[in-house]
């Protein structure tokens, strides 16, 4: 007990309490400039990745194709799938984001992802006020922002045309509002509007996940100590709640009016499958695996926190009530998400853990900052990260030299230059910022080195030019059943061509004379068809899922290009006579 008492009265805790008591009117120029710099770096560093199919996710094709169809048909209320049938399982907003950018910029890869990259930047930006609402300390809020800047799920969601980044941004805004209401005891009007409108925008983005956050906040208010009824009543703000209900529900209401039970069944099945399909016999093991997955996605910060906990386990018992409420709010939300994500029968998808990241970043930053051991751990990790940047640059330069010799020097220069700058600036920048920057540089570095090896953009452009020339403005059918086709490559072609050639799914008819002139099919399917009279050329598609162990071994051995090529899908482009 004496150890606990001494720990809670440590000088650094007293300093923290004094910092938390600073007047809110104190100048905030320095942190604001730092946050602006981190957001600008985030966008600049990820634009190259967003402008290629380097990190393409299979779900992106649904939003890209539907947005192209919206431009072609003028129907902006009902998204459609590859066969032109209504896609009733996801809300309309994410399709609108892609279609709106297409309308302004034209159909293209960057246009497909630009709105989601802006949402990712918004997540980084909103982490700062969220952390301030939880602990009231600018230094901790800046550290939390640095943690989110380099989170792999935030980075991946920001360079893909899927709803994850927008959903996380909306839920971060909502969490900020509830944190102000329940942790900081801030009952200003803006807190209510942020809490409920943020959740409503999230519902309009991907479904019911934000509703879970609202329910959790209400449960937290009612159960967190005495005065639960008063706190619950304090969450009621009819103007923002009614506005949020209208914003969240209008499209769903319209779809129910138009499609009725069909829409409700499709939407309910998708939400049931993605947000939890029922308790299983081995739920405890699934929860443990999902929690481990979350910890891995919070590296290296989770490793630093573990080292602090080894030195002083009482860091989990904050000395002031506000920090205790913040820890309970963020920890309770993360635990709830982990359990829900662990429920489905399929393996947990780490993308669904993304809405926990900003809140967890805030409490991890507060714990790392609370003890001197945290600063020492961050300093050691920052040195390790700078060294890792050099090693990564050398390995990537060796592997890219065979595929694109001109890039090898650029890769090495970027890695060594960034490591040198960060090493020299280490005395002026905090270890946390050095660590975050060293890790973040790996994103553009990986794109610069791996895109010529893993990417498929050059093949898409070459194939697209051939198809456009042969199509002469007509439709270019794609042969095969949807599950047998490289749907990713087909979508990549349609986007690369700018939506000018319509790609459809087609199955070979018995009458060969009825076959279309332009066929794109898997090599295995082409071998089973009589393509006499068709000019054929091989096409390399997207790589199939790469085993992590094999990828690392090939990277270290310098044979990454051969390893990736052995996992690519082989396609055949067949052009018939006029």
pLDDT of residue 114: 97
Q: Which of 277, 292, 315 is the endpoint of a domain?
A: 277
Please give the helix or strand (H or E) that residue 477 lies within, else none: strand 476-479
* 468, 395: one domain: no
* 265, 133: one domain: yes
Tokens of residue 341, six digits: 């994500």
CB atoms within 10 A of CB 556: 12
Residue 275 pLDDT more than 70?
no
Whether 76 maps to a domain, the answer reads: yes
pLDDT of residue 26: 45
Burial (0-12, 13-18, 19+ Cβ within 10 Å), 207: buried
pLDDT of residue 328: 93
- Summarised one tens digit per residue, pLDDT across range 537-567 is 999 999 988 898 999 999 999 999 999 999 9
pLDDT of residue 5: 37
Whether 107 maps to a domain, the answer reads: yes
Whether 118 maps to a domain, the answer reads: yes
pTM (predicted TM-score): 0.90
State mean pLDDT over 295-319. Answer: 82
- Summarised one tens digit per residue, pLDDT across range 345-355 is 566 788 999 99
Provide the pLDDT confidence category of residue 517 given band limits of 50, 70 and 90: confident
pLDDT of residue 255: 81
3 state SS for 403-453: HCHHHHHHHHHHHHHHHHHHHHHHHCCCHHHHHHHHHHCHHHHHHHHHHHH
The Cα 356–Cα 341 span in angstroms is 12
3 state SS for 56-102: CCCCHHHHHHHHHHHHHHCCCCCCECCCCCECCCCCCHHHHHHHHHH
Whether 321 maps to a domain, the answer reads: no
Question: Are 522 and 436 contacting, i.e. CB atoms less than 8 angstroms apart?
Answer: no
pLDDT of residue 19: 42
Domain residues for 492? 457-575
Tokens of residue 354, six digits: 């993304």
Residue 520 pLDDT more than 50?
yes
State mean pLDDT over 445-455. Answer: 94
Residue 126 pLDDT more than 60?
yes
Residues 6+ apart with CB under 8 A from 510: none
The Cα 459–Cα 488 span in angstroms is 13
Provide the pLDDT confidence category of residue 502 given band limits of 50, 70 and 90: confident
pLDDT of residue 567: 92
* 505, 437: one domain: no
* 49, 184: one domain: yes
pLDDT of residue 386: 95
pLDDT of residue 538: 94
% residues pLDDT > 70 (the chain): 90
* 378, 494: one domain: no
Whether 378 maps to a domain, the answer reads: yes
Provide the pLDDT confidence category of residue 276 given band limits of 50, 70 and 90: very low
pLDDT of residue 354: 95
* 186, 54: one domain: yes
Residues 6+ apart with CB under 8 A from 87: 62, 66, 79, 80, 81
CA 62 to chain centroid: 17
pLDDT of residue 280: 53
* 137, 164: one domain: yes
Question: Are 554 and 563 contacting, i.e. CB atoms less than 8 angstroms apart?
Answer: yes
pLDDT of residue 481: 60
* 441, 515: one domain: no
- Summarised one tens digit per residue, pLDDT across range 18-40 is 343 344 444 556 788 899 999 99
Provide the pLDDT confidence category of residue 183 given band limits of 50, 70 and 90: very high
- Summarised one tens digit per residue, pLDDT across range 185-238 is 999 999 999 999 999 999 999 888 999 999 999 999 998 777 788 889 999 999
Q: Which residue has the higher pLDDT, 484 or 364?
A: 364
Q: Which of 229, 253, 277 is the endpoint of a domain?
A: 277
- Average pLDDT of the chain, as a whole number: 86
Q: Which of 427, 454, 481 is the endpoint of a domain?
A: 454
Whether 335 maps to a domain, the answer reads: no
pLDDT of residue 20: 39
Please count the structural domains in the chain. Answer: 3
- Summarised one tens digit per residue, pLDDT across range 106-123 is 999 999 999 999 999 999
* 253, 128: one domain: yes
- Cis before 497? omega within 30: no
Provide the pLDDT confidence category of residue 15 given band limits of 50, 70 and 90: very low
Which range is most confident: 9-13, 256-260, 271-275, 286-290? 286-290
* 413, 509: one domain: no
Residue 483 pLDDT more than 90?
no
State mean pLDDT over 304-331. Answer: 83
Which range is most confident: 150-154, 300-304, 512-516? 150-154
pLDDT of residue 482: 56
Residues 6+ apart with CB under 8 A from 284: none
The Cα 431–Cα 329 span in angstroms is 27
* 413, 512: one domain: no
- Summarised one tens digit per residue, pLDDT across range 374-414 is 888 889 999 999 999 999 999 999 999 988 998 999 999 99
Cα dihedral 168/172/173/176 (nearest 10): 170
Question: Are 127 and 414 contacting, i.e. CB atoms less than 8 angstroms apart?
Answer: no
Provide the pLDDT confidence category of residue 282 given band limits of 50, 70 and 90: low
* 379, 481: one domain: no
Provide the pLDDT confidence category of residue 486 given band limits of 50, 70 and 90: confident
Instruction: Taking the CA atoms of 312, 314, 319 and 322 in sequence, report the sign of the dihedral they define.
Output: positive
Whether 350 maps to a domain, the answer reads: no
Residue 134 pLDDT more than 90?
yes
Q: Which residue has the higher pLDDT, 44 or 473?
A: 44
Provide the pLDDT confidence category of residue 274 given band limits of 50, 70 and 90: low
Provide the pLDDT confidence category of residue 78 given band limits of 50, 70 and 90: confident
Whether 40 maps to a domain, the answer reads: yes
Question: Are 488 and 541 contacting, i.e. CB atoms less than 8 angstroms apart?
Answer: yes
pLDDT of residue 578: 73
């Amino acid at each position: 007990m004496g150890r606990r008492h001494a720990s809670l009265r440590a000088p650094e805790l007293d300093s923290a309490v004094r910092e938390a008591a600073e007047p809110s009117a104190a100048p905030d120029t320095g942190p604001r400039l730092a946050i602006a710099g981190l957001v600008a770096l985030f966008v600049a560093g990820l634009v190259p990745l967003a402008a290629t199919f380097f990190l393409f996710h299979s779900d992106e094709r649904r939003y890209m194709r539907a947005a192209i169809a919206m431009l072609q048909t003028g129907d902006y209320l009902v998204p459609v799938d590859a066969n032109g049938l209504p896609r009733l399982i996801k809300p309309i907003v994410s399709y609108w984001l892609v279609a709106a950018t297409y309308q302004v910029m034209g159909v293209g890869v960057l246009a497909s992802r630009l709105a989601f990259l802006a949402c990712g930047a918004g997540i980084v930006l909103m982490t700062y006020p969220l952390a301030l609402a939880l602990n009231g300390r600018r230094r901790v809020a800046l550290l939390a922002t640095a943690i989110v800047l380099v989170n792999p799920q935030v980075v991946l969601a920001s360079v893909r045309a899927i709803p994850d980044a927008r959903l996380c941004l909306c839920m971060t805004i909502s969490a900020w509002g509830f944190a102000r209401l329940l942790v900081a005891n801030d009952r200003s009007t803006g807190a209510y509007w942020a809490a409920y409108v943020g959740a409503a925008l999230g519902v309009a983005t991907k479904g019911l996940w934000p509703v879970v956050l609202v329910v959790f906040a209400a449960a937290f208010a009612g159960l967190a100590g005495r005065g639960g009824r008063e706190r619950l009543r304090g969450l009621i703000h009819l103007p923002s709640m009614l506005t949020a209900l209208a914003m969240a529900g209008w499209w769903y209401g319209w779809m129910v009016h138009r499609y009725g039970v069909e829409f409700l069944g499709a939407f309910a099945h998708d939400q049931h499958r993605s947000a939890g399909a029922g308790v299983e016999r081995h739920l405890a093991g699934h929860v443990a695996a999902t929690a481990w997955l979350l910890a891995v996605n919070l590296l290296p910060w989770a490793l630093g926190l573990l080292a602090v906990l080894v030195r002083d386990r009482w860091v989990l018992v904050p000395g002031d009530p506000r920090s205790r409420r913040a820890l309970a709010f963020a920890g309770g939300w993360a635990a709830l998400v982990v359990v829900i994500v662990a429920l489905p029968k399929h393996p947990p998808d780490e993308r669904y853990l993304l809405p926990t990241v900003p809140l967890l970043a805030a409490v991890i930053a507060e714990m790392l900052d609370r003890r001197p051991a945290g600063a020492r751990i961050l300093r050691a990790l920052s040195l390790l990260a700078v060294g890792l940047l050099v090693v990564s640059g050398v390995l990537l330069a060796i592997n890219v030299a065979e595929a694109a010799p001109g890039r090898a020097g650029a890769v090495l220069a970027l890695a060594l230059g960034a490591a040198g700058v960060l090493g020299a600036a280490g005395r002026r920048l905090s270890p946390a910022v050095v660590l975050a920057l060293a890790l973040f540089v790996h994103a553009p570095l990986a794109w610069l080195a791996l895109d010529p090896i893993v990417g498929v953009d050059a093949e898409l452009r070459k194939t697209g030019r051939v198809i456009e020339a042969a199509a002469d403005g007509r439709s270019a059918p794609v042969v095969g059943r949807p599950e047998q086709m490289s749907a990713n490559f087909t979508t990549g072609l349609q986007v690369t061509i700018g939506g000018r050639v319509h790609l459809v799914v087609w199955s070979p008819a018995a009458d060969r004379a009825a076959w279309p002139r332009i066929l794109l099919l898997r090599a295995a399917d082409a071998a089973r068809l009589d393509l006499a009279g068709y000019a054929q050329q091989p096409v390399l598609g997207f790589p199939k899922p790469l085993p992590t162990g094999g990828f690392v071994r090939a990277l270290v051995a310098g044979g990454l290009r051969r390893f990736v090529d052995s996992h690519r899908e082989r396609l055949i482009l067949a052009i018939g006579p006029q």
